[in-house]
Structure 1
Amino acid sequence: MEIKRIFDLLPYYEEKFKPKDDVLAGKENGEWKKYSIKEIRDIVDTLSYAFLKLGVERNDNIATVTNNRPEWNFIDFSVMQIGAVHVPIYPTISIADYRFILKHAQIKYMFLSGMAMYKKLEPIIKEMGHLKGVYILNDEEGLPRWTELLELGRANVDEERLNKLKNSITIEDPATLIYTSGTTGTQKGVLLSHQGLIVNFIGVSTTPDFGEESRALSLLPLSHVYERMLNYMYLYLGISIYYAESIPKFQANCQEIRPYMMCCVPRVIEKVYNGVMAQGRKLKGIKRALFFWAFKIAERYELNNANGIFYQLKWKIAYTLVLSKLRDALGGEFRIVVSGGSSLNPKLCRIFHAAKIPVYEGYGLTETSPVITVSSSEPKGLKIGTVGPPLPGVEVKIAEDGEVLSRGPNRMIGYYRDPELTASVFDEEGWFHTGDIGEIDQDGHLIITGRKKETFKTSSGKWISPQPIENKLTASLFIDAAVVLGQNQKLPGALIVPDFEQLKLYCQQKGINYTTNDEMAATKLIRDLIKNEIDSVNKTLGHTEHIGPFCLITDEWSVNGGELSATLKVKRSVISEKYADKIEEMFS
């Protein structure tokens, strides 16, 4: 069966794969609630009947604001197969962003996780004259639940009308409207077609070398286009999808379901690594020495036995005695961890490969549905330090100023209700200007070196790309986040958010007394510790890239605080404004 619209995945799945009860699974009251493909198709069609009865028309916008769960998929497919447009919204953005998105998209119906989210959005909802109804997904009182629509749909079955609508939808039609702000803070509505997402999930389907016998853990928000596209890929390959309860609980979920695959952002990998290293620091004597020896071996790991026989012998010992514990802590079955959203420090990539948890990096933007390049399990499809070769049918080239350009059927329809902005990112030859700086190596793999808008020039006239430096800084056990700045300054400087959990352990070991994080960060021993970490990074950098002044920030950067995006990227403009006084003092 050929897939021409995303909702064709459901009959395709039922036709191609053996029946099983966990096509989708989510936690309810501490137990995994599982759904078969027959149950999913029945629910999806029933919701479509309900939407038609409510008067939902082609190209109407239907929003979801919820955590990852099977019900998200039911709404997604039922909306798409009647020609309406699903608008998934992060459940962690600011009130200002919600107000802009909900009004700009003219949302007709909205599905919320529960009453807590409703109370958060209630002032905005009361302003939305175009909104016709709000439903909640949790089993709570206060608003109609989504299950009431199942009753409405069962009472108004119209199979002929639904099939007619399905058949009228083409591959070029809109499938979803996704709002993205990146690290700039300005929300843009990106309208994506069925074609763009289909090209993506079929193109990346060569990455896994496993299929319907396996399980995936869905961790990133489904409102993130990368996670959503991978969910479609999982269905395309017959891989069962289990929705993680949260990032703090994902390791426990890994132990329960023993997933083969998941997608995450580098920050999650960094947190796992830092947690493991913290445990290592608690060891004593020979166990401690063996632990850190094994991780030094892991940092030198190369693919395809490139380090030679002697290294392989040492690696096997390191894996057996130490590194296997990292794999076991994540369920013991991982064959692929996809890292996206920003660059991952190659050191961490090597360590996870050495622990038999292969990390595959990919690259793309919401505007490209999203993948432009991705690593794969095909011969020469994976190289540490790169984000892989282009997807089949997608072209990539580097402009004269180093910007990465892309062209292909995965491109967006355009920015919603903003033709001028759409025209500004495509040139006359149809190349999409990504805003990222990169290079293509001799094997055709793309390497991203920074963001065009983030590069700055020092007073000596040298251009600095901050992201690679920040990645090296945050690889330190003692640094949680970093922002490198220095426009027109003699040397770059850095705002550093220490990892206070690691520093507390360090203070205990060194007998350093303190009462608050501010007091801890002000001690000479802690400042010297962070300075040593920066000096270690400087040894790996060119002279003009060396970090000079630095400032320790004792605030925790978070999504709710506004410093991080919903995908845990640092919002550089917010940081620059919030800490303007500290930045000025740092460079004075």
Structure 2
Amino acid sequence: MGTEPKTLNELFNSAVDRYRESEFLRFKAAGEWRSLTFGEVARRVRELALGLKALGIERGDRVAIWSENRPEWNLADLAVLAIGAVDVPIYATQTHSQVEYILADSAARAIFVSAAFSEDALEIKSRLPGLEFVISLEEIGEPVVGVEELVDRGRSLYGEQPGLYESMWRAATSEDLATILYTSGSTGEPKGVMLTHKNLTANVVNTARWLRMEGRRELALTYLPFTHIFERAVWYLYAYTGATIAYAESIDTVAKNLIEIHPTAMTSVPRMFEKIYARIIERGLAAGFPRRQIFLWALDVGRRWAERKDRGERIGLTLSLQHVIADALVFKKWREAVGGNIRIFISGGAPLAPEIAYLFLAAGLPILQGYGLTETSPSVSCNTDTRNRIGTVGPIIDGVSVRIEDDGEILVKGDNVMKGYYNRPAENEEAFTTDGWFRTGDIGHIDADSFLVITDRKKDLIKTSGGKYIAPQRLESLIKSSRFVSQVVVVGNARKFASALIVPNIELLRGYAQMKGIAYKDPSELIMNPRIIDLINRQVDKYTMELARFEKVKKVALLEHEFTTESGELTPTLKPRRSVIEKKYSNVIDRLYQEETPSVVAV
């Protein structure tokens, strides 16, 4: 790809030079798919950047972005970077008070908003003298600055000073601050992570090389929030390698958009794969004779085939032929359900249940798990299509160094590691060792073949009253291998043993109840049925049978309602907020540790 870029501005503009006439962004407008080329995006970014300059936004100023995913989000991001300013993304799901805190803490001078947040932004602006401009991504009139007004200002300035835009984006250096990313914050105020152009650009270039993406020109579907570093960095990666990026209409339309777009790649979090898997299992089990028996046979064949392939073992002629038949009868339909052209899925943010990973691999839909943090821009390690081991997060990528402390904590060093936390000097000292390694707060190890294995978050480790340590994420990942389990959170800190809060897959339980002749009126009555309780108990025992006795879950509470982002129980990337969940269900948890409570209860 020629000379490697040193800034995000160089990264974007070098991609424009290579792919100017190629399709870049695809999105739905008025019910129809439309697209922009690299050249058209570059022109729009130039107009927005010069419009910001005409407003008086200067190098180093903070500009926030508060919007759901849409092409304009990324255009605003690139425009802010082009003039040397620093962007401050805000989650669409963050509370009003958190947004105000972020805008005040970062000293933002302007904010891009979608129509859904314009009134809230104006209200906050009235209390923050430093916030001068609210820029609407739609035309809604005064008192906000409309995006087309900004574009008009940019065009006028370009006519007056045609060389200004290029001189501005070229003035950025690798050490310049590019963005302040505020973590969603499960407790306390959000914390701003400062990432430089070098942090993000180095990570993109290293990841592109690691995944051998040069010349691939993926067609990617995107739906994860750009406010999160995972999807934002992947967007830069796609841009750098000339991919076409299609925007899902919403998280609820991903399944439909997969079929419409026929992507070759998609990034996701485990929760989405769990939902896809659950729907597939539900439909397969609902089929009549003999399709149901064929489906179950195919799952068994696929699991055995994938396990051997993953371990690099000889598969054998019989199993190979069985897999070919299973693929023709069952797994081919899985690929068609996700568009028919998927080459790879990339998963991050939380552990993926091995059962799901094996069966997707059997279906020709490999899920490459990776690992990273906001503070590492984000990639630290990632499996590849030629080096993929289920249960790990892959080898360490090029340009990143990892060290494992005596207590198992993973330390990271490299150009990808953040500049620090904004306005948090004490926390910056705690975040780094005296010799400059970043403390990730994650526990793990590197196996004999150089694959990184994550055990858990250091702060999430459960220490029983007997002094034994239990890794809840590992337990949760195993339990979620059961098709009857939708969500699970393991608890038990300072208790005698581990317990679990389980949200069962109600639809699959309905099918099971119908098959077994179990009568019920509603989901609440269903999960209280003794035979359903016995089923969940057997499932937990089955998938945790290889654990040490002290690690096993001794008691389970079945919950009728799912954990959600709206209730504050999940982060925007669908990871459980343990402190929130444990507080909300404290009475249920206390009940689990009463001696008279049975091993599984429904609440």
Q: TM-score, normalised by structure 2?
A: 0.93
Task: Give matches, 1:528-567, under 5 Å.
Answer: 528-567=534-573
Alpha-carbon contact 2:383-2:394 (below 8 Å) kept:
yes
Give the structure 1 partner of residue 381 of structure 2: 373
Q: Following the alignment from structure 1 to structure 2, what is the Cα–Cα distance between the partners of residues 141 and 315?
A: 60
Alpha-carbon contact 1:176-1:192 (below 8 Å) kept:
yes
Alpha-carbon contact 2:220-2:246 (below 8 Å) kept:
yes
- Note if 1:426 corresponds to 2:427: no
- Name the stretch that deviates more: 535-544 or 136-145: 136-145
Provide, for residues 453-501 of structure 1, a one-character-per-residue CA deviation record: whole Å limited to 9, x for no partner: 1112223322101101111122222222111111232221111122223
Q: Following the alignment from structure 1 to structure 2, what is the Cα–Cα distance between the partners of residues 123 and 134?
A: 10
Q: Following the alignment from structure 1 to structure 2, what is the Cα–Cα distance between the partners of residues 219 and 519?
A: 36
Provide, for residues 185-244 of structure 1, a one-character-per-residue CA deviation record: whole Å limited to 9, x for no partner: 651100101111111111111325574653111121111111111111111111111111
Q: Tell me by how many angstroms 1:422 deviates.
A: 1.2
Amino acid at match of 1:174: L
Q: Following the alignment from structure 1 to structure 2, what is the Cα–Cα distance between the partners of residues 576 and 39?
A: 49
Give the structure 2 partner of residue 179 of structure 1: 182
Alpha-carbon contact 2:121-2:134 (below 8 Å) kept:
no
Q: Structure 1 413/108 Cα, relative in aligned 2: closer, same or farther at 3 Å? A: same
Aligned residues: 584
Of residues 509, 512, 519 in structure 2, which corresponds to 1:503? 509
Provide, for residues 12-46 of structure 1, a one-character-per-residue CA deviation record: whole Å limited to 9, x for no partner: 123223622x2111211111221111111111111
Q: Structure 1 210/8 Cα, relative in aligned 2: closer, same or farther at 3 Å? A: closer
Give the structure 1 partner of residue 599 of structure 2: none
Q: Following the alignment from structure 1 to structure 2, what is the Cα–Cα distance between the partners of residues 576 and 123?
A: 34
Give the structure 2 partner of residue 335 of structure 1: 343
- Note if 1:489 corresponds to 2:492: no
Q: Following the alignment from structure 1 to structure 2, what is the Cα–Cα distance between the partners of residues 55 and 213?
A: 38
Tell me, which stretches of 5 or more residues in structure 1 are unaligned?
A: none
Q: Tell me by how many angstroms 1:109 deviates.
A: 1.2
Q: Structure 1 138/498 Cα, relative in aligned 2: closer, same or farther at 3 Å? A: farther
Alpha-carbon contact 2:195-2:419 (below 8 Å) kept:
yes
- Note if 1:41 corresponds to 2:42: yes
Give the structure 1 partner of residue 597 of structure 2: none
Q: Structure 1 469/73 Cα, relative in aligned 2: closer, same or farther at 3 Å? A: same
SS in 1 for 2:163: helix
Q: Tell me by how many angstroms 1:140 deviates.
A: 5.1
Provide, for residues 316-360 of structure 1, a one-character-per-residue CA deviation record: whole Å limited to 9, x for no partner: 111111011111110111111000001111221111111111111
- Note if 1:135 corresponds to 2:132: no
- Note if 1:117 corresponds to 2:117: yes
Q: Tell me by how many angstroms 1:170 deviates.
A: 0.6
Alpha-carbon contact 1:25-1:69 (below 8 Å) kept:
no
Give the structure 2 partner of residue 7 of structure 1: 9
Give the structure 1 partner of residue 369 of structure 2: 361
Alpha-carbon contact 1:203-1:391 (below 8 Å) kept:
yes
Amino acid at match of 1:3: P
State the Cα RMSD in Å.
1.9
Q: Structure 1 426/33 Cα, relative in aligned 2: closer, same or farther at 3 Å? A: same
Alpha-carbon contact 2:10-2:170 (below 8 Å) kept:
no
- Name the stretch that deviates more: 273-282 or 381-390: 381-390
Q: Following the alignment from structure 2 to structure 1, what is the Cα–Cα distance between the partners of residues 140 and 336?
A: 37
Q: Tell me by how many angstroms 1:570 deviates.
A: 0.2
Give the structure 2 partner of residue 241 of structure 1: 245
Give the structure 1 partner of residue 476 of structure 2: 470
Of residues 438, 457, 464 in structure 2, which corresponds to 1:458? 464
Q: Following the alignment from structure 2 to structure 1, what is the Cα–Cα distance between the partners of residues 223 and 264?
A: 13
Alpha-carbon contact 1:185-1:571 (below 8 Å) kept:
no
Amino acid at match of 1:532: R
Give the structure 1 partner of residue 600 of structure 2: none
Give the structure 2 partner of residue 317 of structure 1: 325
Q: Following the alignment from structure 2 to structure 1, what is the Cα–Cα distance between the partners of residues 145 and 524?
A: 47
SS in 2 for 1:108: strand
Q: Following the alignment from structure 1 to structure 2, what is the Cα–Cα distance between the partners of residues 570 and 119?
A: 30
Alpha-carbon contact 1:495-1:553 (below 8 Å) kept:
yes
Q: Tell me by how many angstroms 1:572 deviates.
A: 0.3
Give the structure 1 partner of residue 78 of structure 2: 77
Alpha-carbon contact 1:260-1:333 (below 8 Å) kept:
yes
Q: Structure 1 138/324 Cα, relative in aligned 2: closer, same or farther at 3 Å? A: farther
SS in 2 for 1:267: helix
SS in 1 for 2:28: strand
- Note if 1:219 corresponds to 2:227: no
Provide, for residues 422-449 of structure 1, a one-character-per-residue CA deviation record: whole Å limited to 9, x for no partner: 1111011111110111010111110001
Q: Tell me by how many angstroms 1:5 deviates.
A: 1.1
SS in 2 for 1:453: helix
Amino acid at match of 2:223: L
Alpha-carbon contact 1:178-1:190 (below 8 Å) kept:
yes
Q: Tell me by how many angstroms 1:291 deviates.
A: 0.4
Report % sequence identity. Answer: 38
Q: TM-score, normalised by structure 1?
A: 0.95
Give the structure 2 partner of residue 572 of structure 1: 578
Q: Following the alignment from structure 1 to structure 2, what is the Cα–Cα distance between the partners of residues 423 and 213?
A: 42
Amino acid at match of 1:198: T
Give the structure 1 partner of residue 356 of structure 2: 348
